[in-house]
Structure 1
Amino acid sequence: MIDGILATVIFVRDLPKCTAFYKDVFKLPYAGSDANSSSFKLQDRYLILLSLAGAADLLGADPNEFKIDGTPRVVLAAGVKDVNATYDALKAEGVTFLRPPTDQSWGLRTAHFTDPEGNLWEINQEIAAKG
């Protein structure tokens, strides 16, 4: 039924601020923007930031229907070559981490942070599973 996920769309209040974070701090490959969205191309997938006005237009809804309170509702997990190096690079850019690099029993080394609007991110790399 579903062949794959082609894009992840994040609704944001402050599109310019979030675009700058993903482009300049997180250094995602910028694919372009318009008045209501910014896109980043990650291999064969897209990460799209969509303003509340853009979300309302997309869904045929009133922008006031979208309540974004900064509470994470999803974790975006991104594989990286070296969690420690990525952690250090992001910290140097001013990113505040909720959890530093940690080896997990299921075979990943992870670290967690939020973007400027509270969307939760994980960076991870495979390690040998414990146990």
Structure 2
Amino acid sequence: MTPQRVTLITLGTDDMNRARNFYAALGWTPHPSSQDEVTFYQMHGALLGLFGRAALAKDQGRPGAELGTGAMTLAQNFADRADVDAAWQAALDAGATALKAPEEVFWGGYSGYYADPDGHVWEIAHNPFWPLAEDGSLTLPSPK
């Protein structure tokens, strides 16, 4: 059996400087262990990494493979709708592509989607049924 966790999410990028500049504009700070070819961001209990798309394909044992995006979504939950709107504007100002502006959604929350400069899709949301801890971490509440 393997543990139920994710410790590192790696996003392939076609332009490391552009990707770093995008996340810097969102206020993210690279970890000091970052290098020219890889950038790490410490998150709550996990890391987000940026790695050249071609190098990532080679590392996966698939040199020359065309690595795509969009088949998965990364998500950030926020404490309220105003924080979602602020995150949306910050992403657009940083160079994100708008996919769906934040709006009320069928499940009772408020969310929108954007793509980073490499096409990685991010959802930004406020879910009134999923309260966030003071540090922004999320633990799903038990069903009633």
Q: Give the TM bin, normalised by the shorter chain.
A: 0.7 to 0.9
What does 1:1-131 correspond to in 2, within 5 Å?
1-22=2-23, 24-32=24-32, 33-56=34-57, 58-62=59-63, 64=64, 66-68=65-67, 71-81=69-79, 82-127=83-128
Whole-Å separation in 1 of the counterparts to 2:15 and 2:95:
18
User: Structure 2: any 5+ residue segments left out of the alignment?
Assistant: 130-144
| CA displacement, residues 70-112 of structure 1 (integer Å, 9 cap, x when unaligned) | x522111111232122223333444332111112222331111
TM-score w.r.t. length of structure 2? 0.73
Change (3 A) 1:53 1:87: closer
Whether the aligned pair in 2 keeps the contact of 1:75 and 1:119 (CA below 8 Å) is yes
Whole-Å separation in 1 of the counterparts to 2:58 and 2:94:
34
TM-score w.r.t. length of structure 1? 0.79
| Percent of aligned pairs sharing the same letter | 23
Structure with greater strand share of residues: 1
Whole-Å separation in 1 of the counterparts to 2:95 and 2:19:
14
